[in-house]
């Protein structure tokens, strides 16, 4: 860890406080860095936008991808004020950064009533035993679209 890493993490923590103080959402902030420069930052905006996906990491990822005109951030480092929730964890893996630094842990978050353990528990369950009912519908109608994708020669792979 370098002084620059500490600088970027302090900025992520500052973003968390900024969002919280402005009542935009919970106390979470994120900064995305490429070539030692902040290219995007965000704070939680769930309650101010009525968007349950507007977590700090997702907000910052959207901004970074728009700025870089790409859907992957493989040359970037993410600094987040808290260990990512399951949704943000998935988003981070989709964008493929080279590294993630985090400050608080998911246990720290749980202590202030941001506990995602129920989601981890749901993932381990058989689909028929989950708290929200999932029903497969019209698979035979959907498979041809997948087949068409598999045969498409001008697709952008990811």
Task: Check: CB of residue 33 under 8 Å from CB of residue 8.
Answer: yes
3 annotated active-site = no
The whole-angstrom separation of Cα 66 and Cα 112 is 32
90-104 as b/e, with b when 16 or more CB fall inside 10 Å? Answer: ebbeebebeebbbbb
Q: Exposure pattern of 58-73 as b/e (b: 16+ CB <10 Å)?
A: bbbbebbbeebeeeeb
Catalytic residue (choose from 6, 17, 37, 57) = 57
Cβ-in-10-Å burial (0-12, 13-18, 19+) of 12 comes to buried
Residue numbers annotated as active site: 57
């Amino acid at each position: 860890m370098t002084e620059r890493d500490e600088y970027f993490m302090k900025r992520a923590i500052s973003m968390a406080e900024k969002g919280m103080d402005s009542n935009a959402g919970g106390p979470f902030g994120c900064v995305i860095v490429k070539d030692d420069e902040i290219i995007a930052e965000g704070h939680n905006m769930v309650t101010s936008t009525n968007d349950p996906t507007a977590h700090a990491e997702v907000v910052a990822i959207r901004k970074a991808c728009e700025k870089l005109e790409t859907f992957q951030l493989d040359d970037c480092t993410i600094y987040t004020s808290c260990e990512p929730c399951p949704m943000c964890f998935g988003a981070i893996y989709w964008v493929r950064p080279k590294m993630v630094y985090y400050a608080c842990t998911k246990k720290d978050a749980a202590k202030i009533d941001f506990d995602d353990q129920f989601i981890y528990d749901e993932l381990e369950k058989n689909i028929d035993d989950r708290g929200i009912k999932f029903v497969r519908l019209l698979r035979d109608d959907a498979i041809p679209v997948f087949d068409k994708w598999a045969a498409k020669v001008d697709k952008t792979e990811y």
